[in-house]
Amino acid sequence: MIAAAPLEFGVPFSAARAGARAYGARMNAALLAMPALFRMPEKGTIDPRLTAFLERDAAFDGALWAGVRTTGIYCRPTCTAKKPRPENVVLFDSLDAARRAGFRACLRCHPDEAAEPVPAWARELLASIEREPLRRRTSADLQRLGVEPRRARRWFQARFGVTFAAFARTRRLALAQRVLAQVPRGRSSARVAAVATASGFESESGFRAAFAKLYGAPPKRAAAGAALYVARIATPLGTLVAAATDAAVCFVEFADRRGLAGQVRALRAHFELPIVPGSNARLAELKRELGEYFAGTRRAFDVPVAAPGTPFQRRVWDALRAIPYGETRSYAEIARAAGSPHAIRAAGRANGMNRLAILLPCHRVIGADGALVGYAGGTRRKQWLLEHEQRDARAR
């Protein structure tokens, strides 16, 4: 359990080549750094985010918020209120950005609450990928499922930073990598051809090129390599972005937190692995345990974690794990527990560098005067988490 076992650092994963680093960095920005999904349009063009808001495009719900200058409120794209004039709209890529600009939440659409994570048609589409992950899907296949290809493209682009076709292709390649990893040496050449065909690629050369682009090496050399699987997990406090290898969970953070891109860059610098959308056993375990935590039936997490950091950061994170459920500690107390009583500011910075939100309970650290400060997920979430734990602790 997290409360009993020391963190694992320096987990031995196969390093990807330079090509994988470059490709992985681009995918990191698309999958996890939500601000990168909303680049400003070129001069003279219509901002697609504004169009999405004015047309109530549900594909952007949970990834885009709009402030209205004339009323001082901010809404989600699907808000049913009468839409304002375009010149009165200010667009934001996070809830915190809207709040910092001085806007307050709309009482009609409740933008602070978690959006419906996946609409019914997208759930069915994702389920079909899980049922037949190696199958190549065309626009005709989507239409037979009653899904407009353009709608699927926009929804996957907004949620994952890649089109549906790219999402499905990456899932096929990830599964192909796992299949090839089980092939005995000396028999991989014939197996590569068979896996390429089963994965829906029209040619073996196309499969090899796509595989090398993602993993940075040909199939035979990269087959035993690892990958970071990334998934979104819906919670009562909003969507979490989580990443895990087959060995451990290494990233859990709210999708709208500031500095998410920097956290991802640090993660990439350590693991040097390609990122693929989807799930694995560790992410499934994490999702189950988070559900139990929010339901009030779990106080500590059992899922293995990997948290690379400096020796001082690791001592601070160990101190976080030692805070009992339902209790809090000040930054000065954390610094003392880490063996550096005068490094209070450094302890605060290490607390902020925690990449395992909720699992390593940095929300249990408060100011010396009891103020709820220093939580990247926002004070509203911090207060909710503390009240949730304290209420549950009193009830037992």
List, by residue number, the catalytic residues. Answer: 362
The token duo for 190 is 């014939």
**Pair 233, 286: CB distance under 8 Å:** yes
Q: How far is CA 216 from CA 165, 192, 264, 291, in A?
A: 20, 16, 19, 36
**Pair 282, 247: CB distance under 8 Å:** yes
Three-state SS string over 327-374 comes to: CCEEHHHHHHHCCCCCCHHHHHHHHHCCCECCCCCHHHEECCCCCCCC
Closest CA to 115 of 14, 235, 282: 235
HSE-up (13 A, CA, CB side) for residue 381: 27
Q: How far is CA 143 from CA 76, 136, 394, in A?
A: 28, 14, 53
Three-state DSSP class for residue 114 = coil
Closest CA to 63 of 173, 189, 157, 143: 157
b or e along 3-15 (b: 16 or more beta carbons within 10 Å of the residue's beta carbon)? eeeebeeebebee
Looking at the DSSP bridge assignments, the partners of residue 208 are: none
